Amino acid sequence: MNLFCIGLSHHTANVAAREQFAGNATAESIAREAGCAEALLLTTCNRVEVYAVSEKRISTDEVTRCLTGKTSDGPEYCAAPFYRYEDNKCVQHLFRVASGLDSMVVGESEIFGQAKKAYESARTSGAVGPYLHRLFQRAFRVAKQVRTHTEIARGAVSVGSVAVELAQRIFGKLGDCKVLVLGAGETSERTARALLSRGVKDLRISNRSLDRAHELARTVGGRAVPFDDWVTQCRDIDILLTSTASETPLLTSKTLTPMLWDRVDRPLFVIDIAVPRNVDPSVNELEGVYLYDIDSIRSVAEQSLALRRQQMAAAEAIIADHVAEFFDSISRGLNRLSQATEHPSLAENPLRASEL
């Protein structure tokens, strides 16, 4: 039996190339048209991959033709930079993909859910048999182990998630936090939504245009505050998110210092994602105030990514162990089978033999 993977990913092809092969085929159609015993199609925004098992070798062209949904040869897919992994390389590749090691953002967990969904879809259509079943079940187990035993998924890597992560490191649960969003732009809306998703209940929105503030407040579920009142709100709030188009800093140490006297035991987390900055950098020097501008948020995201990359070796070691063990278990099944002549039907399927 041949186990192989043919695919395109963000490493090898741009989105224009990838989109030609997405959405035209299903696992079942690939298995039928290419003549595979089993097939599974994994399509995400960053990759299009086919995992398959066949009795005889199936060429990459045959599979890519199925992916385009066309019956005749065409130059477009012949030119696409498809990669092909076979046997243990295929297993290793899948384990890396499921663990997020092959992702654009190393360690992201979305791919795990996407792989599960792809597996479920192929299983429902009957395209997955015992080989791919066992391979994918093992891949999910490996991915969980990698996440549990390494720091590969540690730390936030986007503006919204960094803001939420930092807020949680300061306040713990965000349910009691009062948040003021200054400026009703797209990024602040996304960040506000990220904070709301983590339990924030008191969200205030202030904007030069009160109508826009009301509109955003309605959309995300907060309340609008007149722009003239936002400074006084700093006495009460825990998190300030600024993203106005102001050319000069709106918040300075001089403005903030008197308000901190009333809240000496409560930290204030200021997220300034505006360019030019809305908050004077000297504010970070005030006791109990934690100011993060867009550069420092990016820096935190980069530190998280660097931490994740440092964990790749540990993750690769876990994967290598599983790849070796996975093949060993199949080989042992084969050996046992060669001695068990009373089960000739199983000789054709080493996987079933390994499960004996």
Partner 1 sequence: MDRYFLIASTVCFLAAVVHTVIELRAKVFRPMRFNFIAIGLGFIFQTVFLWIRGQELGRCPITNLFEVFTFLAWSVALIYMVVGPAYRLSLMGAFTAPLVLLLQTFALIAPIDTRHEVTVPVNSWLEFHASMSLVAYGIFALACIAGVMYLLQERQLKTHHLHSIFYHLPPLTNLFAVITRLLWWGLALYTIGIVSGFFTGHPLPRIQLVAAIALWLLYAAILQARHLKWLAPKRVAALCIIGFSAALALLWGITFTAELHHMP
Q: Which long-range contacts (CB under 8 A, 24 or more apart) does 201-208 make?
A: 201/175, 201/176, 202/177, 202/178, 203/179, 204/178, 204/179, 204/180, 204/233, 204/237, 205/180, 205/181, 206/180, 206/181, 206/182, 206/230, 206/233, 207/182, 207/183, 207/244, 208/244
Task: Kindly state the smallest distance separating residue 324's Cβ from partner 1, in Å.
Answer: 22
Task: Kindly state the smallest distance separating residue 319's Cβ from partner 1, in Å.
Answer: 16
Are 239 and 292 in contact, with CB atoms under 8 Å apart? no
Task: Kindly state the smallest distance separating residue 289's Cβ from partner 1, in Å.
Answer: 9
**Between residues 16 and 264, which has the closer beta carbon with respect to partner 1?**
264
Q: Radius of gyration (Cα) for the chain, nearest Å?
A: 27
Q: Which strand ranges, in their side-by-side order, compose the sheet holding 38-43? A: 38-43, 47-54, 2-9, 83-86
- Other residues' Cβ atoms within 10 Å of the Cβ of residue 16: 7
For the chain, the helix, strand and coil percentages under 3-state DSSP, each to the nearest 5:
55, 15, 30
Residues in the chain: 356
Task: Kindly state the smallest distance separating residue 154's Cβ from partner 1, in Å.
Answer: 6
Is 45 one of the annotated active-site residues of the chain?
yes
159-171 vs 186-197: helix crossing angle, rounded to 10:
40
**Between residues 231 and 314, which has the closer beta carbon with respect to partner 1?**
314
Are 315 and 152 in contact, with CB atoms under 8 Å apart? yes
Which residues in this chain contact partner 1 in the complex, by CB under 8 A?
149-151, 154-155, 166, 168-172, 264-265, 267, 284, 287-288, 290, 292, 296, 299-300, 303-304, 307, 310-311, 314
- Catalytic residue from among 5, 36, 45, 66: 45
Separation CA 22–CA 18 (nearest Å): 7
Q: Give the angle subtended at the CA of 27 by the CAs of 2 and 108, to the nearest 5°.
A: 90
**Between residues 174 and 192, which has the closer beta carbon with respect to partner 1?**
174
Q: At a CB cut-off of 8 Å and minimum separation 6, what does 62 contact?
A: 34, 35
Task: Kindly state the smallest distance separating residue 284's Cβ from partner 1, in Å.
Answer: 7
**Between residues 209 and 310, which has the closer beta carbon with respect to partner 1?**
310
**Between residues 197 and 299, which has the closer beta carbon with respect to partner 1?**
299
> End-to-end CA distance of the chain, in Å?
18
Task: Kindly state the smallest distance separating residue 160's Cβ from partner 1, in Å.
Answer: 17
Separation CA 79–CA 74 (nearest Å): 9
Active site residues: 45
